[in-house]
Amino acid sequence: MNPLKIFCFLALVIAVASANKHGKNKDNAGPNSLKPTDWLSVEELQSMTAIDDITLQQLENISVEDAERKIEKIYHLSQINHALEPSYVPSPSNVPVMLMKPNGQSQQTNLNELVEAAKQQPNFGDEEVTIFITGMPQTSSAVSKANKKLVQAYMQRYNGQQQPINGNKDYDYGSSQGNQGVTSSEEDYSESWKNQKSTKGNLVIINLGSTLTNMKRFALLDVEQTGNMIGKTLVQLTNEVDVPQEIIHIVAQGIGAQVAGAAGRQYKRLTGHQLRRITALDPSKIFAKNRNALTGLARGDADFVDAIHTSTCGMGTRQRVGDVDFYVNGPASTAPGTNNVVEASMRATRYFAESLRPGNERNFPAVAANSLNQYENNEGNGKRAYMGIATDFDLEGDYILKVNPKSPFGKSAPAQKQSTYHGLHQSWKSGKNQNQE
């Protein structure tokens, strides 16, 4: 039988059995009861939608609050007795890969042909290599737009394309035709363009999201096996194309961020070395987990792991996954200005893309804090930090920041012009200089 079709029924049986087992124990009653039937009624459990009956389009067409409740219920029930076990691993021949060329065109291949394609690229691996792992299919306009923004930003960063879009056709980073046009916004450009420092690199897009065509595949994705598959490919890049681990930066989105953690561990197992950096863009919840093994992204999977959380109660997780975790508007909030949970999750990609633009690297100042209340009451601690490409590698802990609801998203006013604690809370050195004045 379909494991997702019987999932809610199994969860119901477990919940009722647990309730019957402890029902006579008065100590289990009260507001802190751990009985599943005190979290959800039997009627709610019976009426819940099976995961494979949920579509990305449905999540986009309901309110953020309704989608969050639906996802949270299914997620928590999936953790009861590990009701879901991972079973989907895409074939490497079915995972599309694009290598972006300096002229904006892309060379299309698949995961099992990536190494041979890289060998054909002149000077591949001489500079930084960014591996972008997508986490959702581009059937969603929010996903498509966010991914395009990120690719465009990297093309501008690596190849000096200030205006990467011309013509009337939609820009498709999966097209060999290159930059064809998508509506630009203020986040795309910066007054500091003329002062841009030269940054060179290669961008590789592993379009894992295109294989996750429905919520069933998303929920049942075997994070560890998929990550191992990508990790082996990265090892081949090192061994056959001479790409050292010190210049590999994985930028991964949603469930792709969890896969990146497994890829980093596999790389270390096979080489004895760690990748330089993994950046997680709204790392997602993991519904299906192996019973006897930890899975997903964690600090230690690369020399430095940073995460941007924008949909902790929806598609994303509030669980700490990195050396430093940035929570936009706090650890229990949704990115402002978004209409659904998919768009909220994609905001992490948009924020990171904005930070890539020359002059925008410090658009997202953040303060170390454990809650939005602590942040708003000026009770944060430590030096000011910046979310995005310019995040310092020595950062640790939880950081909170606020953003604008529309592009440009970063609150980048110079610190000395801001009267608030968050504006003045720069670094220890700048604070010392201000006191001396």
Quick: pLDDT tens for 11-53. Answer: 444 444 444 444 444 444 444 555 555 656 656 655 666 677 7
φ/ψ of residue 41, rounded to 5: -75, 160
Report d(CA 325, CA 316) in Å as an integer. 13
φ/ψ of residue 88, rounded to 5: -105, 125
Q: Which of the two residues, 376 and 250, has the higher pLDDT score? A: 250
Contact 362, 386 (CB under 8 A): yes
Quick: pLDDT tens for 203-244. Answer: 999 999 999 998 889 999 999 999 999 999 999 999 999 999
Q: Decide if pLDDT at 169 tops 60.
A: no
Contact 283, 313 (CB under 8 A): no
Quick: pLDDT tens for 403-436. Answer: 999 999 998 733 333 334 344 343 333 333 333 3
Three-class HEC string of 347-401: HHHHHHHHHHCCCCCCCCEEEECCCHHHHHCCCCEEEEEECCCCCCCCCCEEEEE
Average pLDDT over residues 96-116: 94
Which residues fall within 8 angstroms of residue 367, CB to CB, at 6 or more apart?
A: 375, 380, 382, 384, 385, 399, 400, 401, 421, 422, 425
Quick: pLDDT tens for 335-361. Answer: 999 999 999 999 999 999 999 998 999
pLDDT at 96: 97
pLDDT at 406: 94
Percent helix, strand, coil in the chain, to 5, is 40, 15, 45
At residue 195 the predicted structure's pLDDT band, cuts being 50, 70 and 90, is low
